[in-house]
Structure formats: C-alpha cells, structure tokens
Amino acid sequence: MPHLLHIDASARPGIAGTDNHGSHSRHLTDQFVRQWQSGHPQATVTYRDIGQNPPSIINHDWIASAFTPEERQEPWMKEALAESDQLVDELIAADIVVIGTPLYNFGMPAALKAWIDQVVRAGRTVEFDDSNPIDPYVPKLIDRERHVVVLVARGGVNMSPGEEMAHMNHLEPHLTTALQFMGITRIHYIAIEGQEVGGELLAASIAEAVGKVEVLVDELQMAFRDAPIPEPA
C-alpha cells in the first residue's frame, strides 16, 4: 500500500471555501488526500504543516555537521541534524509526496525552502562522486519510483510553463530542480490561479484544478495498483 507524505506550506491555516481567508492550496491537498483515502481506507499518511510549524533554517552548526562523515560526528552534531534526519526519513518512506504551496513573491514560501534545505542532504539524499568533477552529484532516492504532487495557488494568471507570465514563476523550476537532484523525477503540478482577481476567473480556475486533482488521484491509484510497492530497504 503506497504511503503518502502530505505537506502544507501556506501561511493561511484554514481551507478556502470553508474557512474565512482560507488557503486554496490546502483546499487541493485536502481533496487529494481525502479522495486517496476514500479509495484506500487503509492508506497511511504522514502530515507536516510547515506553514504553521516551519522547519528550522540551516545555520553554521547544521552545515558543519552535515558535511562531517557520520563516524566522526560529535554528539552536538547529531543533535544539530536530528530535525533534518526526521524530515529525510519521512521523505524516504513516502511513495507519494503531496505538497500544497502558494506562490509568494515569484517563488516558494520560506517554510518550503527551509524544508528543501533540510532534506537535500549529502549522504542521505544525494552523494558526491569525487571521480567525476564535471557532474559529481549522484541522487540517492532512486531505489524505487516516487511521485511528488505539487498543488499550487497563485495570485496572478497565465504563469504556467509556456504562458505569458511564466517568467515570473520560479516556484516550479526551483522545486523541480531540487527534487530531481535527489532522484525524484515523477512530478505533477496542478495550480489554481487568479486569487488576486477573484470572481468568475478564480471560480473557473478552482473548478478546473479540482477536476484535475480528481483525475490525477485516479491515475496514480491505477498506476500503483498495477505496480506493487517494494518494501523500503
């Protein structure tokens, strides 16, 4: 049975359509997880609300610890990496990672960037091959196929790849680069646009995104039904 890691990065704690000033990205992740569990009542889900409880920003101690071989780490180094280890363990355990995130000022929220910084780890999610100075990076999360579903809320419009305002959207390219760097290549994006415009444009975008989530859940459930999930090493 596939295991889900559900991450919400919006600073808004509520759900749009239910709570006043609620989050549209949380609306989509809630729909995805509920629909997934309705089809798989025994499905397991780990939930991280990084919008309300952001991961720590990496500092000098974190860097010194992360780049010290494990056998040489002092007790304070292991403590400095404890949060990162837990977040990495959650990512490794997941078959599907569902990330709900707004687009803030052309990129990802600081909380999501902090999560990325905590899980992109030498020795845990990526290795360095000293024999290849041109491209020394070796992704480690290739032991099995993982999917990441990124459910985005944007204030503006026409910001998807190839559209007129795509040059102002650095969230998806940044997130894709980080995930692929670790070895996760099955990435799905669905976005709600026009929150700043509102009205019929926003309503139509919400309806379209909700429909796409429904289709994607069905497609992924079918894919995992046809491909048994190997046990983690």
Nearest of 227, 221, 168, 230 to residue 41 by alpha carbon: 221
Domain borders along the chain are 3-52+87-226
Say how far apart CA 36 and CA 151 lie, in whole Å.
15
pLDDT of 107-116, one tens digit each? 999 999 999 9
23 is in an annotated binding site: yes
Instruction: Quick: pLDDT tens for 123-182.
Output: 999 999 888 888 899 999 999 999 999 999 999 999 998 999 999 999 999 999 999 999
**Separation CA 47–CA 93 (nearest Å):** 13
4, 33 in Cβ contact below 8 A?
Answer: yes
Any bridge partners for residue 74, and if so which?
Answer: none
Instruction: Write phi, then psi, for 194 (nearest 5 degrees).
Output: 90, 20
Tell me the percentage of the chain whose pLDDT exceeds 90. 83
Is there a contact between 211 and 156 (Cβ–Cβ < 8 Å)?
no
SS3 assignment, position 147? strand
CA within 13 Å, CB half, 58: 20
Please answer whether residues 39 and 221 qualify as being in contact, where contact means their C-beta atoms are separated by less than 8 angstroms. yes
Average the pLDDT over 3-13 and give the result. Answer: 97
pLDDT at residue number 228: 59
Q: What is the CATH number of domain 3-52+87-226?
A: 3.40.50.360
Say whether pLDDT at 198 is over 80: yes
- Residue 34: its H or E element: helix 24-39
Categorize the per-residue pLDDT at 230 as very low, low, confident or very high, splitting at 50, 70 and 90.
low
Nearest to 55 by CA among 95, 8, 92: 8
pLDDT of residue 229: 52
Q: Does pLDDT of 105 surpass 80?
A: yes
**pLDDT digit string, tens, across residues 42-60:** 889 999 999 999 999 999 9
User: In the prediction, which pLDDT does 167 show?
Assistant: 96
Q: What percent of the chain has pLDDT over 70?
A: 97
SS (H, E, C) 197-229: CCHHHHHHHHHHHHHHHHHHHHHHHHHHHHCCC
User: Is 25 annotated among the ligand-binding residues?
Assistant: yes
